[in-house]
Each structure stands twice: as structure tokens, then as C-alpha cells.
């Protein structure tokens, strides 16, 4: 996939690019408003990451321009402002998703894949990995065509693993993905462990042993 990262903080921009390129994506970067507007005008992207506060202008203006020109790239807004208004403004203007700084790259990756999956950018509603197939529309997972009975959290966990294959996911990242702001309560009790273990058992029962432990306390979803 071809992704444009419009972010004026070079360090962050590069970190995002590094992470996404590992999945075989082609990343281009824009460090200010003019750069972003220029690139958006000239090239086609599957997805654009747009920082709201670009040095020389607003990311939202780039978004307006995209929508005016009826370009069909997916757009995820990145903002340092967790305010609801910004979020609603962004989504009203036609952004596909919205993420607040600071965020986990795994979380961003997961959101990017979700946006790309949505039919309108040529993706489909399923995620396939070897014998595993997930229908994101009906929120059901199949192994060798047999439906798994998963709880809501186990399903979310599986999709998160699938979209971050081969990545080491710490419990902190997983907890935050599943419970957001309440995740600080989760690390008092080993709840993630329980959820992961349940998912693992259900998958192993069907012969799918992909959830591996990494560095003692982290997890990795990987084919042997």
C-alpha cells in the first residue's frame, strides 16, 4: 500500500514510516502544509495520515482539498488535541478515523488496516491468515471454515494480533487497545493474560498455534 505521512515532527514521522514499511508498505512523507498539499495533488495514495497542526497550515485544509477533488484515499487524522470538537470536525469533513497523540504504532497500524479493509478503498471485509479467516462485518472468526466462539474482547484481540503480525506486543499496548483509558486498572490484575490465554486455548484446539510469548512478558503473532 502507498501511504503518505503528513506530520511536521520529523522524529515521529520517521518512526511511523519505519514501522509501516516493515509490512511492505511504501511510505512517503510531508513535513509541512505546502509539501502535503503538493504531494496530495500530484500523487495517488491508498492512505494519508494527516496531522491537524502542520507547521504552515491545517491538516484539515488538506482534507477539505482532498474531498473537493473527490480523491478516494483513506484519511486518518492525527491530533495532539483530544478534544471532541476536533474529532467531530475531522470526521465531518470525511476523515475515516481519528487518533490522538500519543498513540501506539501497533494501534495506528490496526486502524490503518481497518480503514483499508472498508470496501470503498478496494479492500474487502475479511482478514485471512493461513487457515484463519475473519469476517469483520459479522465479527466472526473461522479456522478451516469452522466458526470459533469468541467473546467480544477475544475477537478484538485476535483482530489486533492479525493486523500486527510478527510484531512484539507488550501487555501495555494490548491493554490500551482493549480498554483504552481504563487499562491502568487492568495491570493490577493479570486480566490481559486471562483473555489471551483463553483465545490461545480456543485457537490451539483448532490447531492454530500462532500466539507466541516474546521476551517473557510480551506476545507475538507469527507463523512458524
Partner 1 sequence: MMKEVRLIRKASQGFLLTSALLMLLSTVALYFYVKQLMQQEVEEELFSTQARIESALQLSKPPFSLPPVLEVEQVPEMGTEKVKDTIIYDPSQKEMEEFRELVSFKNINGKNYKITVRNLIVESEDILFAIILSYLLIILLVILIQFYFNREKNKKLWAPFFRNLQAMKTFSLSSDTPIPLEKSRILEFNELNKEVMMLTNKVRTDYKNLKQFTEDVSHELQTPLAIIQAKIENIINGDHLNDMQFEHLTSIQKDIQRLTQMNKRLTLLTKIENKQFVNLEQINITQLIEETVQNFHEISNAEIEFSVMDKIGVRMDVHLAEVLCNNLISNAIKYSPQEGKIEVSAKENSLTISNKGIQALEHPEMLYSRFYRESETVKSTGLGLAIVKRICELYGFTVVYSFEQNKHVFSIKFK
Interacting residue ranges for partner 1, rule: CB under 8 A: 9, 11-12, 15-16, 18-19, 22, 80-84, 100-106, 153, 167-168, 170-173, 175-176, 179, 181-189, 191, 195, 214-218
Q: Which is nearer to partner 1, 147 or 185 (CB)?
A: 185
Three-state SS letters, the chain: CEEEEECCCHHHHHHHHHHHHCCCCEEEEECCHHHHHHHHHHCCCCEEEEECEECCEEHHHHHHHHHHCCCCCEEEEEECCCCHHHHHHHHHCCCCEEEECCCCHHHHHHHHHHHHHCHHHCCCCEEEECCEEEECCCCEEEECCEECCCCHHHHHHHHHHHHCCCCEECHHHHHHHHHHHHHHHHCCCCHHHHHHHHHHHHHHHCCCCCEEEECCCEEEECCC
Q: Which is nearer to partner 1, 20 or 134 (CB)?
A: 20
Query: To the nearest whole angstrom, how small is the minimum distance from the Cβ of residue 64 to partner 1?
Result: 23
Query: To the nearest whole angstrom, how small is the minimum distance from the Cβ of residue 161 to partner 1?
Result: 14
Query: To the nearest whole angstrom, how small is the minimum distance from the Cβ of residue 167 to partner 1?
Result: 5
Query: To the nearest whole angstrom, how small is the minimum distance from the Cβ of residue 184 to partner 1?
Result: 6
Q: Which is nearer to partner 1, 87 or 200 (CB)?
A: 87
Q: Which is nearer to partner 1, 25 or 100 (CB)?
A: 100
Q: Which is nearer to partner 1, 182 or 197 (CB)?
A: 182
Query: To the nearest whole angstrom, how small is the minimum distance from the Cβ of residue 204 to partner 1?
Result: 22
Q: What are phi and psi of 58, to 5 degrees?
A: -100, 135
Amino acid at each position: 500500500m502507498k501511504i503518505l505521512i503528513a506530520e511536521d515532527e520529523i522524529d515521529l514521522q520517521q518512526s511511523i514510516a519505519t514501522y509501516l514499511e516493515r509490512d511492505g508498505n511504501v511510505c512517503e512523507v510531508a513535513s509541512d502544509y505546502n509539501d502535503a498539499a503538493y504531494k496530495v495533488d500530484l500523487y495517488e495514495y491508498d492512505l494519508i495520515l494527516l496531522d491537524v497542526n502542520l507547521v504552515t497550515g491545517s491538516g484539515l485544509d488538506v482534507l477539505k482539498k482532498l474531498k473537493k477533488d473527490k480523491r478516494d484515499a483513506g484519511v486518518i487524522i492525527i491530533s495532539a488535541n483530544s478534544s471532541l470538537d476536533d474529532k467531530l470536525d475531522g470526521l465531518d469533513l470525511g476523515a475515516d478515523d481519528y487518533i490522538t497523540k500519543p498513540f501506539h504504532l501497533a494501534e495506528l497500524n490496526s486502524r490503518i488496516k481497518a480503514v483499508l479493509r472498508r470496501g470503498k478503498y478496494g479492500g474487502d471485509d475479511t482478514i485471512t491468515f493461513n487457515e484463519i479467516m475473519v469476517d469483520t462485518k459479522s465479527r466472526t472468526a473461522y479456522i478451516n471454515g469452522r466458526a470459533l466462539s469468541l467473546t467480544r474482547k477475544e475477537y478484538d484481540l485476535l483482530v489486533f494480533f492479525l493486523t500486527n503480525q510478527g510484531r512484539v506486543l507488550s501487555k501495555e499496548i494490548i491493554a490500551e487497545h482493549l480498554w483504552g483509558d481504563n487499562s491502568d486498572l487492568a495491570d493490577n490484575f493479570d486480566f490481559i493474560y486471562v483473555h489471551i490465554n483463553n483465545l490461545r486455548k480456543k485457537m490451539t484446539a483448532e490447531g492454530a498455534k500462532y500466539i507466541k510469548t516474546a521476551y517473557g512478558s510480551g506476545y507475538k503473532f507469527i507463523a512458524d
